[in-house]
Amino acid sequence: MLDMKNNSHSGLLTKNKLDESPESSQQGQHYIEVVKAFARLTYESVYVIDYTDMSFEYVSDNPLFLCGLSAEEVLGLGYEFYFRHVPENDLTLLTQINEAGFDFYANIPFAERKDYSITYDFHLVNKEGKHILVNHKLTPLFLSPEGKMWKAMCIVSLSHHQSAGNTRIYKQNSGETWELHPGAKTWRKSEKPVLTEREVEVLRLHAQGLNINQIAERIFVAPDTVKYYRRRIFERLEVSNIVEALAYAVNAKLI
């Protein structure tokens, strides 16, 4: 285990840390009950970060994020959970993502800051010592009066990539995305890929579990035509298989 107070990843702890808690009236009433309700409806792990003291305010009982602990144990650990259950190389990556992400966030107009979400992949180490690559999505819940992120909701699921990183920022109701250059703090802006209606239909049918022949029957085309649509989808999304295509499309809200 790493010493949370004396480690090389202080940026993970201090980049957005608030000096004091904002007035509780700003956060509204009973929002945690809403988060709990959402957690009951999804297969993904859900938790809430409070940047005032780098604690977790809520942790769902989905086992993926817990690494063999109970939700109550992870809740009690707060940010120390990362130092216990994320390998050293990925902690360095998370520090870079944290610093670059909050630098990006500081340049967003105050009124728009809740419109942005970030997604990236890193490994968790479970109680058997197995490294599991997860996808982590984070979006603001509440801001401090100065515009810093006060509380954020995070969603964790299995990653469909082969390695950590893959960091992107999305803006709500916009085609704009930003990708973080590996090993750097610079962001590359791009537009979300545009798929045709038929390509979206093929992706949705794949998401329902249909194979190529079944999709061909459903949309009244030859299987080779479905294969053509798949190749076009892979090219547009810059992925190599249908699993990656579906993961990208869901994250980017293309389907």
Domains, the chain = 10-191 (3.30.450.20), 197-251 (1.10.10.10)
Amino acid type, 212: I
The pLDDT-based confidence of 248 (bands split at 50, 70, 90) is confident
pLDDT score of 1 more than 70: no
> What are residue 46's DSSP bridge partners?
155
Span 168-186, average pLDDT: 84
Give the pLDDT of residue 246: 87
User: What is the three-class DSSP state of 142?
Assistant: strand
- Residue 147, Ramachandran bin (φ over 0: left; ψ between -120 and 50: alpha; else beta): left
Of the listed ranges 10-19, 75-84, 107-116, 159-168, the least confidently predicted one is 10-19
Alpha-helix runs per DSSP H in 86-160: 88-106
- Please report, rounded to a whole number, the percentage of residues in the chain having pLDDT higher than 90: 62
Task: Work out the burial of residue 90: count CB atoms within 10 Å of its CB; fewer than 13 is exposed, 13-18 middle, 19 or more buried.
Answer: buried
- The alpha carbons of the chain give a radius of gyration, in whole angstroms, of 20
pLDDT score of 169 more than 90: yes
Tell me: the pLDDT tens digits for 183-231?
Answer: 677 899 887 788 999 999 999 999 999 999 999 999 999 999 999 999 9
Give the pLDDT of residue 64: 92
Tell me: the pLDDT tens digits for 118-149?
Answer: 999 999 999 899 999 999 999 999 998 888 89
pTM above 0.95? no
Angle, CA 42 vertex, CA 157 and CA 61 arms, to 5°: 75
Span 50-76, average pLDDT: 94
Give the pLDDT of residue 5: 43
Question: What does the CA dihedral 64, 70, 73, 77 come to, rounded to 10 degrees?
Answer: 0
Tell me: the pLDDT tens digits for 15-60?
Answer: 666 666 666 544 555 889 999 999 999 889 999 999 988 999 999 9
